[in-house]
Structure 1
Amino acid sequence: MRIVFAGTPEFAAGHLEALFAAKEHEVVAVYTQPDRPAGRGKKLQASAVKQLALAHDVAVEQPVSLKDPDVQAQLANYHADVMVVVAYGLILPEAVLRIPTYGCINVHGSLLPRWRGAAPIQRAIWAGDTHAGVAIMQMEAGLDTGPVLLEKALPIAAEETSASLYEKLAKLGPAALLECLHELPQKLSTAQQQDETCVTYAHKLSKEEAQLNWQQPAVVLERWVRAFNPWPVAWLRSATGETLKIWRAEVLPDTSKALPGTVLSADKTGIVVKTQENALRILELQPAGKKPMPAADFLNGRAEHFPVGRQLAGANHE
């Protein structure tokens, strides 16, 4: 088939690379976001998808919007059988969805209809889901609402971070895409409508919500730490008011009557803070301007940040 590919980051580039490697279809054009300033010099930098497309001598389009009739006319000129969309970052108007012969299909990093939206990997870990996966759907005007052509699931490991799960889905997605494209007409005819009673939304992450809330159980906060790794990284305010990023933690059974946020101990085994249920032992943290370090190393010369018996401030997320 003639394929127009639309994507921007590394996750999308992995899918495009799989299409090139398979040599089963012809990628006639690639759509990606305009070059953005990056690095210390703030020089314009091409997306991972653009760099890959240029390396394969494929036409690259970088419209600011797909609403422009001229942009839509240019897309139609590629006479695509299907448009494959992976983490593109631009909204596709209904007119665009109708241009390719078989429409537009999207690779989404969740088992739809659970976790529609921008941050499905992080939300799945934070919520304590046992499985994650990728869904390939036919795109509609709504946010991730289209019928599902194919899903592939995998278990979420006990120590899974968003970074590690991202890597697993980055391998699972391209294989699923090739399988779906190989039998696209049949997959479209047997696509399953999403159950609207099971919908959850994976809203965009923010640095503010990454602040640990000691009113939560330790088991939730431990998932919090893993879900926000590598961005925006869970954080807390120490007794001195300094913001510290938390990279690794574990649940510690505790039946004490201390108030949530109270420092129970701070030694070479870690920093133990009382939560709404049990306690959280912080194993690795990062001061501003420094690299992540074990809690024992942090406490050398910094004991004032976690005095035993002091109650730490914590966010009260609604």
Structure 2
Amino acid sequence: MPSPLKIIFAGTPDFAARHLQGLIDSTHEIVAVYCPEDKPAGRGKKLTPCAVKQLALAHDIAVEQPKNFKDPSDQNTLASYHADVMVVVAYGLLLPKVILDTPRLGCVNVHGSLLPRWRGAAPIQRAVEAGDAQTGVTIMQMDEGLDTGAMISKACCDISVDETSSSLYEKLALLGPDALVQTLNLMSDGQAQAEPQDDQLANYAHKLNKDEAILDWQISAEILERKIRAYQPWPFAQIHLIDEKQQLQRIKVWQADVVTGDSSKAPGTILSADKAGIIVQCGNNALRLTRLQAPGKKPMAVADILNGRSEWFMAGTPICGHD
């Protein structure tokens, strides 16, 4: 039985809270939880604690919310907990060297990819977008670089052909906590061995932005289909069209598949529109849109949308491409 470690946990969203729950359920002791300051949320813009803070308070765990760690008083507060290790999961704040060196065993991070592939802010989404066959979580010893620390352990999972970022997130949220606890058990017994990353194999998962969610029909249908799955639940792939009132309609694309196109038609041209789907020519092959969401509406099968808005999708007409 490994000796219990005294742990400081730092994180913010639900993904991090799942890992905190895994530690709460383990034999290790959570001495404090760190998270960002409460932020306005909802229509009333009421200050709302993040998922990690809510879970910590529910278990009577001390919560610290420093703006950053530049103030020596915040550094001293963290040191006063005499933690063996600090676990960081989607925290959102950079840790200076003085913090990385404070816990006896340093700081470890749970990252949602098989490092060194997909360092950075959006590893789950970029893995789906790239068509990777496999991903996972990496538990690494943190250093001053961005996801560059030595790797202590990995846990892998397959990416299915219909995987969305939402479904892959769920897989990793189940995979990560067990991998974290097992890694901490090894660290407690002095059996953990960290492997340096090969920087030559590294690539970077850039943060998503709304502009790239607008489908660019010049791209191949295969790539666009992956983007549609990668951008769920945010920023959601979109098509833009001008309606009969000359108003711009931003329509979210929930589901599509790749079909044979007509290379004689310009990318963005609607080849056909019926209850089976709306087929749009792409740079290579075509994309059949099967589930869409009009502004202010729920996601619907294309057949239902065509019943009320068939004039938006006339064969031979173009759909607006990327701005």
| Coarse TM-score class (shorter-chain normalised) | over 0.9
- Could you tell me which residue of structure 2 aligns to residue 100 of structure 1? 103
Match of 1:14 among 15, 18, 24: 18
Q: Where does residue 132 of structure 2 map in the other structure? A: 129
Q: What is the CA-CA distance between 1:105 and the residue it aligns to?
A: 0.1
Alignment of 1:64-143 (within 5 A): 64-143=67-146
Q: Structure 1 residue 214 and structure 2 residue 217: aligned?
A: yes
Tell me the CA shift for residue 190 of structure 1. Answer: 2.1
Assess if the C-alpha contact under 8 Å between 1:19 and 1:178 holds in 2: yes
Residues 264-296 of structure 1 deviation map (CA, whole Å, 9 limit, x = unaligned): 011111110011111100011111111111111
3-state SS, counterpart of residue 78 of structure 2: helix
Q: What residue is the counterpart of 1:173 in the other structure?
A: 176
Structure 2 unaligned spans of 5+: none
Q: Which residue of 1 aligns with 2:287?
A: 280
Q: Give the letter for the 1:176 counterpart.
A: A
Q: Is residue 305 of structure 2 the alignment partner of residue 302 of structure 1?
A: no
| Contact 2:186 2:192 (8 Å CA) reproduced | no
The letter of the residue matching 2:308 is: G
Identity of aligned residues (%): 57
Contact 1:149 1:188 in 2 (8 A): no
Cα drift, residue 256 of structure 1: 4.2
In the alignment, is the contact (CA less than 8 A) between 1:213 and 1:314 conserved in 2? yes
The aligned residue for residue 29 of structure 1 is 32
Q: Is the 8 A contact 2:263 2:284 kept in 1?
A: no
Asked whether 1:257 is paired with 2:260, we answer no
SS of equivalent residue, structure 2 residue 25:
helix
What secondary structure sits across from 1:276 in the alignment? coil
Which amino acid is 2:217 matched to?
A: W
The 5 Å alignment of 1:133-172 reads 133-172=136-175
Aligned-partner SS, 1:92:
coil
Question: Is contact 1:244-1:286 (8 Å) kept?
Answer: yes
Letter in 1 for 2:224: L
Q: Is the 8 A contact 2:260 2:285 kept in 1?
A: yes
Other structure's SS at 1:243 match: strand
Number of equivalent positions: 315
TM-score (norm 2): 0.95
Q: Aligned Cα RMSD in Å?
A: 1.3
1:245 aligns with 2:231: no
Per-residue displacement from partner, 1:19-78 (whole Å, max 9, x unpaired)?
A: 1112x1110000011111111111111111111111111100011111211100000000
Q: How far apart are the structure 2 equivalents of 1:265 and 1:49?
A: 48
